[in-house]
Structure 1
Amino acid sequence: MPTIGCFCPILTNIPKVDIDENGTFKYILIAISCPRHPNGSNPCITVVRGGRRYDYHSDMYTEMTNITRLKPYPKKSLGGGYIYFDPEHKIIHIYGTSIGFGPADHNLTARILRKAYPEHIITTATPNEWWPDDKHDGKYAPIHYPWELDKEGHFKRRYYGED
């Protein structure tokens, strides 16, 4: 969890969210601490990074660790997953897991994204609700699309199973 009251000058200028704004892609949560917090405990900020440009979740983590001004700051991966971003309908869905880093706390990711995208509908799923689909450019895509159009053409949440 981000710490309230930590005002590390370098970290306050780091964007909390840097993701693609269209499509399905991998993402990672990274906790960054200032040197005043030993062993990386009590992170100052938690950031979300993701995009189609990354082949692996570890590429995002490596990119963050290679930023020169952040080198002295302890960083820790909090896991990863996938984001489906539909800019036209303002829908963001967070799901899945990183094989290398394990699952991220999708609820924490959603809280961070809601601050960056207050106009969007942001939902989360458990890793078991989503599976890889080779028909979507080799990227991970939902078996169950979480939204459907109603008769008036508005998006509504699709529910599965018993009512």
Structure 2
Amino acid sequence: MAVLNKISDVAVDPDGEFKYILVRVKVKGGTDHKDVVRGTRSAKYHNQIFEKVSPAVESLGLECTCLGGGKMEHNSKEKKLRVFGESTGYGKADHAVTVEKLKAVFKDYEITME
């Protein structure tokens, strides 16, 4: 399980509206796993985020699966995060799981989902 701790639970851009994905990272051949959130304005499509995450995860000897996607609106000045929408290719991520992950990192934020 220690190798899973090397991967941060949340990595999202500090400001703007952007696509995000929920990814299950798993120990190869094992049952240990955790779900992580990744989002960036540089990705025009959800699969572009996964294409960056997957090799980084695999280099640690882990495997990953995209559980779905959506959009996020992040306003670091007002300390607000809004989770909404879905991915055409991966389907809708479980926004409730995403919000719980975000709350653990952005403790003093107002976090909503639609």
Q: 2:18 aligns with which of 7, 21, 25?
A: 25
Classify the secondary structure of the residue corresponding to 2:17: strand
Name whichever structure is richer in strand by fraction. 2
Greater radius of gyration (CA): 1
Q: TM-score, normalised by structure 2?
A: 0.92
Q: Which amino acid aligns with 2:50?
A: Y
Partner of 1:52: 41
CA pair 80-43 structure 1, distance change in 2 beyond 3 A: farther
Classify the secondary structure of the residue corresponding to 2:102: helix
Unaligned ranges ≥5, structure 2:
none
1:82-93 equivalences in 2 (<5 Å): 82-93=71-82
Unaligned ranges ≥5, structure 1:
1-7, 126-163
Q: Would the aligned equivalents of 1:10 and 1:69 in 2 still touch at CA under 8 Å?
A: no
- More relative contact order in 1 or in 2 (CA 8 Å, sep 6+)? 2
1:74-113 equivalences in 2 (<5 Å): 74-113=63-102
Partner of 2:4: 11
Q: Would the aligned equivalents of 1:27 and 1:48 in 2 still touch at CA under 8 Å?
A: yes
The percent identity for this pair of structures is 30
1:92 and 1:66 map into 2 onto residues whose CA distance is 28
Residue 36 (structure 1) shift: 4.1
1:133-152 equivalences in 2 (<5 Å): none
Q: TM-score, normalised by structure 1?
A: 0.66
Deviations 1:109-149 (A, max 9, x none): 00000001000000000xxxxxxxxxxxxxxxxxxxxxxxx
Classify the secondary structure of the residue corresponding to 2:88: coil
Name whichever structure is richer in helix by fraction. 2
Q: Does 1:124 align with 2:113?
A: yes
Give RMSD over aligned pairs.
1.3
Q: 1:69 aligns with which of 34, 59, 64?
A: 59
